[in-house]
Amino acid sequence: MNLERLVVMFEHLDDPNEPRAGALELARVVSRARTIRTRRKWLAAVTVSCVLLATSVGLAVSRPFDRASSAVSNYQFNLAKGPLPLGAPVPATALVDIQFATARDGFALALHRNEIVLAASDDGGSTWSVRNNRLPAGLGAGAGYPGQFEFVGSTGYLWGARTGASAPLWVSHDAGAGWHQAPIGPYVYDASAIGLNVWALAGTCPPAAFSGSSCSVAVEQSLDGGTNWSSLGVVPPKGPVDGRSIELARITTTRSYVLENASGTSDTANWQLAFTADGGAAWTVRPVPCGTAFSLGAEVAASSTEDLWLFCGSQATAGEQSKQLYRSANGGQSWSLVASATGLGTPPPPSIPPDPLPLSGYIAPFTVGHHNLAVASPTTAWLFPARSDLYETRDGGSRWVTVPDLSTAGVADGGLGDITFLSATQGWLSEYGVGLWHTSDGVTWHPLGTS
pLDDT tens-place string over residues 356-368: 899 999 998 888 6
Residue 210 is predicted with a pLDDT of: 43
| 3-441: in CATH 1.10.1660.10 | no
> Between 31 and 404, where is the model more confident?
404
Residue 197 is predicted with a pLDDT of: 98
- What is the distance between the alpha carbons of residues 208 and 179, in angstroms, rounded to a whole number? 24
Give percent helix, percent strand, percent coil of the chain, each to the nearest 5. 20, 35, 45
Residue 387: φ, ψ to 5°? 65, 35
In this prediction the pTM is 0.81
- What is the distance between the alpha carbons of residues 374 and 368, in angstroms, rounded to a whole number? 12
| pLDDT over 90, % of the chain | 51
> Between 325 and 67, where is the model more confident?
325
> Between 354 and 330, where is the model more confident?
330
> Between 308 and 291, where is the model more confident?
308
Q: How far is CA 325 from CA 211, 366, 390, in A?
A: 27, 17, 16
Residue 98 is predicted with a pLDDT of: 93
Q: Which of 208-217, 300-309, 314-323 shows the lowest mean pLDDT across its residues?
A: 208-217
Residue 243 is predicted with a pLDDT of: 56
Tell me: pLDDT of 43 over 50. Answer: no
* Type of residue found at 238: K
Residue 239 is predicted with a pLDDT of: 58
Q: How far is CA 258 from CA 27, 77, 296, in A?
A: 28, 39, 17
Residue 355 is predicted with a pLDDT of: 83
| pLDDT over 70, % of the chain | 76
Residue 35 CB burial class (10 angstroms; 0-12, 13-18, ≥19): exposed
pLDDT band at 330 (very low <50, low <70, confident <90, very high): very high
Angle between helices 67-79 and 18-57 (to 10 degrees): 110
- CA angle centred on 22, ends 295 and 112, rounded to 5°: 165
